[in-house]
Structure 1
């Protein structure tokens, strides 16, 4: 895939994230998009936290699902999650900045497999994940968000 195509995908995502969406709620910021691998960053805010004052596991699961899915999109495929496992290792509190990395490890015609990790500011691992995504078509310019 060309750098031009990756730049188009990044611009698409930045426009999409301006609209009301889960990614907007999560306040995800694109750090880098390569073919089959993406890096995102997010600042943990009060709305992301559970009653103990740490980030809710569902928020972390949503973030890792997003970055693993975008890793698939970076290869030009439209996908939906078929399964995902998440191992929670450590937690962080409000105010922390986390980094999420998703990578395609198998680029099949109908099923794509991915791995993902989320890290805190000290690069300590918060979660490990793996996921499978069903390919429902090509991700193309017709997918560009309508305002």
Structure 2
């Protein structure tokens, strides 16, 4: 999948810059067959009113990372999120955060993934699972 991943990564990166992904400022660091890594430099506009990373940014990064992974695995199909479950565990502030996601199950029409959002210290800030369906 290395060549397919490189081609997908190049195309996805180009397209993503003009979407919500680009607006938020996410950066794809690594894409492998079963794993993706996405990072974000948290800035003041990513914070909520109490000065920590907004839960919606957590959700955006996790859903996007897991979605990219399933789209790369099935570049011939449109994959849509059918379920996203997030556990918020620790805070992140103005720092570089990282999402690591992997595929945990696959059937003919559905894929289940797991994603972890880590702060700069390596603390687990959020844990998510998501299910995607071929559309």
Over 2 Å off, 4+ runs: none
Q: Which residue of 2 aligns with 1:37?
A: 35
CA contact (8 A) 1:72 1:78 kept: no
TM-score calculated relative to the size of structure 1 = 0.86
Q: Please, which runs of 5 or more residues in structure 1 have no aligned partner?
A: 137-147
Question: Partners in 1 of 2:119 and 2:70 — Cα distance?
Answer: 24
Matches within 5 A, 1:1-147: 2-19=1-18, 21-76=19-74, 77-94=77-94, 96-136=95-135
CA deviation after TM superposition for structure 1 residue 37, in Å:
1.2
Q: CA offset at residue 3 of structure 1?
A: 1.3
- 5+ residue gaps in structure 2? none
Q: What is the number of residues matched between the two proteins?
A: 133
Per-residue deviation, 1:104:
0.9
Alpha-carbon contact 1:37-1:74 (below 8 Å) kept: no
Could you say what secondary structure the match of 1:11 adopts? helix
Q: Could you say what the CA RMSD is over the residues aligned between the two structures, in angstroms? A: 1.1
SS at match of 2:78: strand
Q: How far apart, CA to CA, are the structure 1 residues paired with 2:35 and 2:72?
A: 7
Say which SS state the counterpart of residue 51 (structure 1) adopts. Answer: coil
